[in-house]
Structure 1
Amino acid sequence: MNYLSSIYKINPKINFNNYRYIRYYSQLGPQLPKCNFNAKNNKPKLSATDIESIHKLNLNPCLKPWYRKPVVIKQGYMQYVWDNDNKRYLDMFGGIVTTSIGHCHPKLVEETTKQLSKLWHTSSIYYNEEIHEYAKALAEKLPDSLNNIFFCNSGSEANDIAILMARLYTKSYDIISLRNAYHGDSLSTQPLCGVQSWKFPIPLHFGVHHSTNADPYSGRYGGSNCRDSIVQTTRHCECALNECNACDRYIEDFQQLFDSTLPKKICGFIAESIQGVGGVVQFPKDFLKRAYHLVRQRHGVCIADEVQTGFGRTGTHFWGFEGHGVVPDIVTMAKSIGNGFPLAAVATTSEIAKTLTEASYFNTFGGNPLASCVGLNVLKIIEDENLQNNSHKMGTKLLRDLQKLRDNYPDIVGDVRGKGLMIGVELTSDTKLRKPMIKSDFDEILENCRDMGLLIGRGGPNGNVFRVKPPMCINEEDIDFTINVLQKAFDLHKEKIVKKQ
């Protein structure tokens, strides 16, 4: 008996056009996996009404919560969070791809607490053990040439530093980014973003050029053998074995940018290994390798944005760029690096790093002892708990289970893609035409998932892609729960569509 049949047995007169009924029946969903942690059921300091009032009055209007009734999170533990009503949720978005080893990981809490009582902050005019120990450990995770580390506080700041060094090193200004890319929201990184929703109508885009996004699912070219993923698009592909016509076509577009718009010498090229905010878009095989080659022919440097794909999340490699068979000149990282603590870094060669000595460069909080302690222990926990391998194993299971959902719900799920625990599920209103699901329908599915205890991300230029990027400690029971919740949310959506017809 499927989910909707069980609902009809409870109440055969249910009207699925009624939002209140949908909310009620969505809460009859699957049971969350057991958890041996009990959140403290203390009375909240602020009521939901107080929070709503303060939010509107004292917080900037850019902070827009999801859901009709925003979730007030009070506690986190590993892959779970609790709200102010003590309801538990499975966090399959990881604080926007940030909580890598798990919320309030006991070992990280223990080591950070020790550091809090030892030394919080000192500027770079003095030495401290923590930054040196951490810099050495992080450099050992990177290619040998990328042994100079700049510590900072966010991914946007890391990309700021990378762009500055690239322009100083090459003595050129023009930099290439991809349409649909996201690289931050600062004054110098906004121009790199290729998603309209992140654009303000001010003159920022000097020297930034966007090339065609190499998207095998919704781009101009692509087919069923293009991606480095165990799940391929259902789009027809005429490529022979070990060939990719889509990659050839996208590289032709890339070359046209050089031939028509750019000077003979350029600054560089920045790209994510898998596009994150853009909806977990994977490029055709060899696209990045061939793009890097063209950039270096024009004396440019190649920047890998590993803010979302780094630290073992893709499963097969510690860094996303390794899956493309390339070695960048500069690597930027944030999010998972600190498991939610404000921490980021830029890694590059000693020659490129020296460019920032041409004038004074200083970062007050970058690599302070507390941040360095957090970062070092995140690295240790990833290694000790084999979380990269868990990302590979759990990601493989989740992708295969999502592929079955796609095949069972062809009118709802257009594409499943990703690698490790960096996964996207694109919802459509017309799968054959790859037409994005409208916002109101997507929002309702998202609400149903929340009601059943599943927190999941959204992204893509049309906001119709589930971004599934949980803490890397999830297990098979969490995956089964996720699939069951999505199945029930899709059933509710299908039933509503039938009722409307």
Structure 2
Amino acid sequence: DWKLLAHIARETGRASTRYGEYRLSKSSTDPQQEPESFALHIDACIPARMPAVAPFAGTLKTAGPHLVLVGRDLTLHVEGLECVLAEDTELAAGDPLGVIAGADNSVGGLRLRFCLDPDLVPPLFCKPTEVGTWSRLCPSPSALLGIDANTPAPRYPDQPARGWREYLFDATGRSALDLTGQAPLIGYGHPRLAAATYRQTILLNRAAGHPSDAEEALRAQLTELAPEGLSHVFFVSGRTGALDLALRLARGHTNKRGIIGLPGLRMERRDPDFFAVPSVGTATDMIHDLNDVAALLAKGYGEPANLDESLTVLRQKAGLLIVDETGTGYGRLGHHTWGFSHRGLAPDIVFVDGPDGGAPSFLMTRPEIAANLPSDQHPPAICPVRAASAIAALDVIREEQMRENTREIGSHLKTRLESLAERFPAISAVSGSGLLLVIDLAEEAAGLGERLRPGIVADISTPRRLVLRPPLCFSRQSADGLADRIEALLSEI
């Protein structure tokens, strides 16, 4: 904090921190620890050798590096003055106290605190839950600077204000592990992502009529990652746009309408020719009985199921296999780049969410399938900033070996969770791979996900099921902290 303050002071001549500010620099990555983040003091950078005077009448209780001036109703604590006065000196308001320490033509540093108790040395910071008491006992010294150096209270103190790696920090500095799958794949706050986004924003921050250099570079990288044969890449807007394009391509290629969706798929819009089935067996029967099936729609990763018979019949009737890789691609499952590889599937069309929070979604397919889409229906060019962001994320995944980290940490966490399942009947099953793990819970543990909050946030949209989907930078420390917290909560059931 002092380095940042000094940097600003070098440019402007003087600068200060603010009283009542929750300093995220005082946060902890331990979700169970409440940080001492509320500033009860002000640090100020002021030109050295500037004279300082007593703001009120009082007695110097101590002098030297930590000067304490005790008044009738208030005590002032100052650090950073050169004071030659003796202890117990009586001062009137306006009497000289000393000068700002430091060499001529340099910037000195002051630390200022007020306290109502003359016998107490007030802390520099306090915990969010202690703000009411400490802020009354230690009011703001802002008036000493002649400016308003007070921080307004945050409007939404429990809402995220900052993200870093797998952590979210609220406005008071409390941390939470983000396991929801909504974090960027490489984690929050990666400097490579920020640098790439900034550079491309300076160059060009709008989609033109034709694909930008950044878009073409991203398409080339994705083509290298694509399964054999799926060499044509379309960029789309979100999962809904990707699903719509996948269905259009399948219907255009097969001249059929029916789409059979396997269990576990989300369908955001109504489609009269879409049939969600309860089981693979039902899907097989429908493909046998119907001649108008354009495609079978499956998730890239899910419950173990034998699709061999369904796919054999589907291929015989010239139908296609569409795979939804939302949330499962780019090595999240550890051993494979794509989720469908875990299931031994060979899709004709794959649609994928972007490799970071703001990157475009896209679709991969074979060139002969892509050729069925009229050129005037091709998705428009994407913003080059989003493309540059996605390229940077892919580079980070490769260079920082995040897939290897996913495999190692995911295996470690799953082993720990399976060990808990052996000891606690409240866990009925642990499934998944890499950093996509699912905990199925017995009735008595149905509220486990809510009890993990606010320090640990996971997907609890399905009753009695806890879905863990952290970013690929997830650390062993965080994995152990999560397992320890689950164990503690299960011990209380």
Name the TM-score class by shorter chain. 0.5 to 0.7
**Which residue matches 1:234?**
none
Quickly say closer, same or farther: Cα 1:396–1:117, change in 2 above 3 A.
Answer: same
**Which residue matches 1:413?**
427
Q: Write the letter of the residue equivalent to 1:292.
A: L
Take 1:117 and 1:39, find their aligned partners in 2: how far apart are those partners? 36
**Which residue matches 1:8?**
none
Which has a greater percent of helix?
1
Alignment of structure 1 residues 56-455 onto 2, 5 Å: 71-95=158-182, 98-123=183-208, 125-182=209-266, 184-185=267-268, 187=269, 204-213=270-279, 250=280, 252-260=281-289, 262=290, 264-274=291-301, 281-284=302-305, 287-334=306-353, 337-357=354-374, 360-364=376-380, 366-410=381-425, 412-429=426-443, 442-443=446-447, 445-451=448-454, 453-455=455-457
Take 2:153 and 2:315, find their aligned partners in 1: how far apart are those partners? 57
Q: Retained in 2: the 8 A contact 1:289–1:325?
A: no
Q: Retained in 2: the 8 A contact 1:99–1:470?
A: no
Q: Note the alpha carbon deviations across 1:98-125, whole angstroms, 9 max, x for none.
A: 52101121111111111111111123x2
**Which residue matches 1:236?**
none
Structure 1 unaligned residues grouped into runs of 5+: 1-29, 50-70, 188-203, 214-249, 275-280, 430-436, 495-501
Take 2:371 and 2:38, find their aligned partners in 1: how far apart are those partners? 49
Q: Note the alpha carbon deviations across 1:65-111, whole angstroms, 9 max, x for none.
A: xxxxxx4111001111101221011222232xx52101121111111
Percent identity over the alignment is: 23
Quickly say closer, same or farther: Cα 1:259–1:327, change in 2 above 3 A.
Answer: closer
Runs of 4+ in 1 over 6 A off after TM superposition: 38-42
Q: Note the alpha carbon deviations across 1:342-364, whole angstroms, 9 max, x for none.
A: 5200011111111221x622545
Quickly say closer, same or farther: Cα 1:106–1:352, change in 2 above 3 A.
Answer: same
Quickly say closer, same or farther: Cα 1:205–1:483, change in 2 above 3 A.
Answer: same
Q: Retained in 2: the 8 A contact 1:33–1:481?
A: no
Q: Retained in 1: the 8 A contact 2:350–2:364?
A: yes
Take 1:270 and 1:45, find their aligned partners in 2: how far apart are those partners? 50
| Deviation (angstroms), 1:44 | 6.7
Take 1:356 and 1:489, find their aligned partners in 2: how far apart are those partners? 53
Take 1:113 and 1:130, find their aligned partners in 2: how far apart are those partners? 13
RMSD, matched Cα: 2.6
* Helix, strand or coil at the partner of 2:395: helix
Take 1:211 and 1:413, find their aligned partners in 2: how far apart are those partners? 28
Quickly say closer, same or farther: Cα 1:117–1:428, change in 2 above 3 A.
Answer: same
| Deviation (angstroms), 1:265 | 4.1
Take 2:275 and 2:388, find their aligned partners in 1: how far apart are those partners? 38
Quickly say closer, same or farther: Cα 1:111–1:43, change in 2 above 3 A.
Answer: farther
| Deviation (angstroms), 1:292 | 2.6
Quickly say closer, same or farther: Cα 1:289–1:418, change in 2 above 3 A.
Answer: same
Take 2:453 and 2:336, find their aligned partners in 1: how far apart are those partners? 32
Quickly say closer, same or farther: Cα 1:298–1:104, change in 2 above 3 A.
Answer: same
Take 1:44 and 1:394, find their aligned partners in 2: how far apart are those partners? 41
| Deviation (angstroms), 1:339 | 1.4
Take 2:322 and 2:420, find their aligned partners in 1: how far apart are those partners? 36
| Deviation (angstroms), 1:395 | 0.9
* Helix, strand or coil at the partner of 2:371: helix
Q: Retained in 2: the 8 A contact 1:306–1:333?
A: yes
Which has a greater percent of strand?
2
Q: Note the alpha carbon deviations across 1:326-352, whole angstroms, 9 max, x for none.
A: 221111001xx2411052000111111
Q: Note the alpha carbon deviations across 1:442-463, whole angstroms, 9 max, x for none.
A: 34x3332114x21222133xx2
Quickly say closer, same or farther: Cα 1:44–1:377, change in 2 above 3 A.
Answer: farther
Q: How many correspondences in the alignment?
A: 353
Q: Which has the higher contact order (CA 8 A, sep 6+)?
A: 1
TM-score, scaled to structure 2 = 0.67
Structure 2 unaligned residues grouped into runs of 5+: 1-28, 40-124, 126-149
